[in-house]
Amino acid sequence: MEIKQVHPLFVGEVGGIDLSRLLDAATAKDVVAAMDRYAVLVFHDQAIDDPQQIAFSQLFGPIETTRHLINPNHKLRLDKHIADISNLDDQNRIMAPDARRRMSGLANRLWHSDSSYKPISATYSILSAKVLPSWGGETEFADTRAAYDALSPQLKAQVDGLVALHSIHTSRAKVGFTDFADEERAALPPVPQSLVRVHPGSGRKALFLASHAGSILDMPLPEGMMLLHDLIEHATQRQFVYTHRWRVGDLVMWDNRCTLHRGRPYDMAEVRDLHRTTVSDMANDKRGVARASAA
């Protein structure tokens, strides 16, 4: 495994590894060490199918099932362990402009951390590119450890110890999408997340932000919302951002605990099909807290 850093702060491009074969324990450990250092790893030319991607992902912990399982009317195109990052419906047709999943998915163009709104949030997301449009559709990543380091001493003192509430309904409402089934609202109440977290693998502090965050506990709503706006704007300045321009066969793995990301626009009349697996952060299990605040 060879790694070349492709951004001044983070992101490694990895060669000499075939992810379709199950890695041995020593190599999986090397991947974790590289993730702790680079936060985003890019693997090119990986011919990997869904079961192989699932097996690779499970080397790093239990993996999520898609939140769309909560909605009994939602028909899945892919295995329940795969988040369907495409503009295709369950019949493999390009979704209608007003399709529910498409509308909701537009909010993925806002800066976020995957699954920060879930009672068990995520360590890694692993995304592989199957079909790409002729232009656009890049994914951008921001380094929230470097962003924390660059805060003024006053802002560091202000944000340390604060807790934000994250909800999938908050990020969707930001693009005007509010059409959630009652089961979905009930199943995903807001989750409290510390605004500053120590990244366990590196010992560095990181801002934990996302478009899912809508308020800060014990702070007036406008003040909390403004602070969240300011912090996302700070963390996503160009010097902290890497833009990934996809090639078919790319697999990109990122650490949601110390990065933000967003999708970029593309021609929705063309197919864009990427498959994501997501590793659960069992060390950040908020099930008890979420139940208590929902009660």
Binding region for Fe ion (CB under 5 A) out of 113-121, 132-140, 174-182, 187-195: 113-121
Tell me which stretch binds Fe ion (CB under 5 A): 107-115, 185-193, 221-229, 277-285: 107-115
CB of 278 to Fe ion, least distance (A): 9
Q: Which is nearer to Fe ion, 121 or 162 (CB)?
A: 121
Angstrom distance (rounded) from CA 194 to CA 207: 9
Shortest distance (Å) from residue 76 CB to Fe ion = 18
Separation CA 11–CA 13 (nearest Å): 7
Between 215 and 259, name the residue whose CB sits nearer to Fe ion.
259
202 closest CA partner among 39, 27, 12: 39
- How many residues bind Fe ion (CB under 5 A)? The answer is 1
Looking at residues 19 to 38 of the shown chain, list those that interact with Fe ion (rule: CB under 5 A). Answer: none
- For residues 151 and 244, which CB has a smaller minimum distance to Fe ion in the complex? 244
Q: Judged by CB, which is closer to Fe ion: 43, or 124?
A: 124
For residue 164, give Cα distances in angstroms to 81, 87, 169. Answer: 28, 31, 14
To Fe ion, the closest distance from the beta carbon of 121 in angstroms equals 12
Closest approach, Cβ 286 to Fe ion, in A, equals 19
- How far apart (Å, rounded) are the C-alpha atoms in residues 50 and 275? 8
User: In this chain, which residue has its C-beta nearest to Fe ion?
Assistant: 114
Dist. CA 15–CA 266, nearest whole Å: 28
Rounded CA gap, 128 and 50, in Å?
9
Q: Which is nearer to Fe ion, 46 or 113 (CB)?
A: 113
Which spans in the chain are helix H?
A: 25-38, 50-58, 100-105, 144-149, 153-159, 168-173, 182-187, 221-235, 287-294
Choosing from 3, 10, 35, 114, the residue that interacts with Fe ion (CB under 5 A) is 114
| Amino acid letter, 185 | R
Phi, psi of 5 (to 5 degrees): -75, 130
| Smallest separation, CB 24 to Fe ion (Å) | 29
CB of 114 or CB of 273, closer to Fe ion: 114
Q: What are phi and psi of 78, to 5 degrees?
A: -120, 175
Residue span binding Fe ion (CB under 5 A) among the ranges 65-73, 108-116, 153-161, 283-291 = 108-116
Helix (H, G, I), strand (E, B), or coil: what is residue 55?
helix
The residue range among 60-68, 110-118, 235-243, 246-254 that interacts with Fe ion, by the rule CB under 5 A, is 110-118
Positions in the binding site for Fe ion (CB under 5 A): 114
